[in-house]
């Protein structure tokens, strides 16, 4: 990996971190418990609760991604960043640019069912 590529990935991590944090803030807002309000019909309440369950799942995924991105940011300057944990081959730059938190190459990822 060239220095320029590493810089590109670093920028991407920083952008993704910001986006993920922003997304989490919105989701946290939307998953706040709804106040018992008589104006809401039972069906409406159920609908809102269902949407909140979906948002809660998305929020958990975003939290996991945030942690993986933070970890990637710590590791991006190290020799072993971008090397597959399973086969020790370099992960494709295009893949890292898309998902900088990748720890496995595509082949190992699908083989391991990750
Ligand atoms: Zn691999």
Rounded Cα distance between 18 and 107, Å, is 29
Average the pLDDT over 10-30 and give the result. 97
67 alpha carbon – ligand 1 mean position (Å): 22
21-47 pLDDT tens trace = 999 999 999 999 887 766 778 888 899
pLDDT digits (tens, 9 = 90+) for 40-56: 788 888 999 999 999 99
The helix (H) or strand (E) run that includes residue 52 is: helix 42-75
d(CA 99, CA 67) in angstroms, rounded, equals: 13
Mean pLDDT confidence for 73-97: 96
Between 73 and 45, the more confident residue is 73
According to the CATH classification, is domain 3-112 in 1.20.120.910? yes
* Average pLDDT of the segment spanning 91-112: 96
- The domain limits of the chain are 3-112
pLDDT at residue 109, rounded to an integer: 96
The pocket of ion ligand 1, defined by CB under 5 A, consists of: 84, 86-87, 105, 108
Among candidate residues 89, 81, 78, 82, the one with its CA nearest the CA of residue 111: 89
Residues whose CB falls within 8 Å of the CB of residue 21, separated by 6 or more in sequence, listed in order: 66
């Amino acid at each position: 990996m060239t220095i320029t590529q590493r810089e590109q990935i670093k920028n991407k991590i920083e952008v993704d971190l910001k986006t993920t944090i922003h997304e989490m803030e919105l989701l946290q807002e939307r998953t706040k418990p709804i106040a018992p309000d008589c104006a809401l019909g039972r069906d409406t309440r159920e609908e809102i609760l269902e949407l909140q369950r979906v948002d809660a799942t998305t929020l958990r995924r975003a939290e996991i991604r945030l942690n993986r991105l933070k970890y990637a940011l710590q590791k991006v300057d190290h020799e072993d960043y971008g090397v597959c944990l399973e086969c020790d081959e370099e992960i494709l730059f295009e893949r890292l640019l898309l998902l900088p938190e990748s720890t496995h190459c595509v082949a190992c990822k699908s083989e391991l069912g990750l």
